[in-house]
Amino acid sequence: MSDIVFLDTETLGTEIDAPIWELAAIRRRIDGTETPLHLFIDHEPEPWISNPKFPESFKEDYRARYRADHSMSRADAAAVLKNFLTGRPHIVGAVINFDTERIAHQLLRPKGIGELWNYHLIEIENQVHGYLRAVSELLSGAGLDMIGDKPISELLALPWNSNDLSRAINVDPDQFERHTAMGDVRWCMAQYDALHGDER
């Protein structure tokens, strides 16, 4: 058995160098106890915040919530993560390689720290999609072609809609503070628990 860590970051873009400005995680130990972590990380917002391709809603959220006087340096964030992720836990998240690649690139490698997590990343959207694919086989065998209010073929077609996938397992994404690091961590946890039930 291994501890698992639900993790999410907020960045100023999708590029590998677009700075991480917020990071949240919840570590769930084998005994079921949970420890949260929430950081704001010092960075240079330009030229990222001025990029016209960066959605205005994300810019507004950044301006409303980020405070330099509440942030820590990248070096300090790396040290905190080294301690928080001791023992190489499994990392769970939505498109989690986006987060782990940027954490490694921006925070860990500059301080000579290797990746701190088990290399088997747990991608929650893939898990939900796989679960729903299996359920859809059972439903179609019974002559049913809907999951909730969505046709199965529409729900499972690429590109996936993460909100629809979540609703299909009875996790309402609107109940979480989406596109905040801790809100997305809690949303991911709820989906994981909906699939894994009593395993925790």
Which residues, in sequence order, are CB contacts of 52 under 8 Å at separation 6+? none
CA separation for the pair 187, 192 (Å, rounded):
9
pLDDT of residue 200: 52
User: Which residue, 28, 1, 30, 40, is CA-closest to 182?
Assistant: 40
- Mean pLDDT on 3-13: 98
Q: How far is CA 79 from CA 76, 113, 168, in A?
A: 5, 9, 39
H helices present in the chain, as ranges:
56-65, 74-84, 96-102, 124-141, 152-156, 162-168, 181-196
pTM over 0.75: yes
pLDDT of residue 198: 62
Domains and CATH numbers, the chain: 4-122 (3.30.420.10), 124-199 (no CATH)
Q: Which residues pair with 5 in a beta bridge?
A: 27, 91
Residue with tokens 């639900």: 6
- Mean pLDDT on 118-131: 97
CA separation for the pair 94, 42 (Å, rounded):
24
pLDDT of residue 199: 62
pLDDT of residue 145: 81
pLDDT in tens, 149-164: 888 888 899 999 999 9
Q: Are 126 and 120 in contact (CB under 8 A)?
A: no
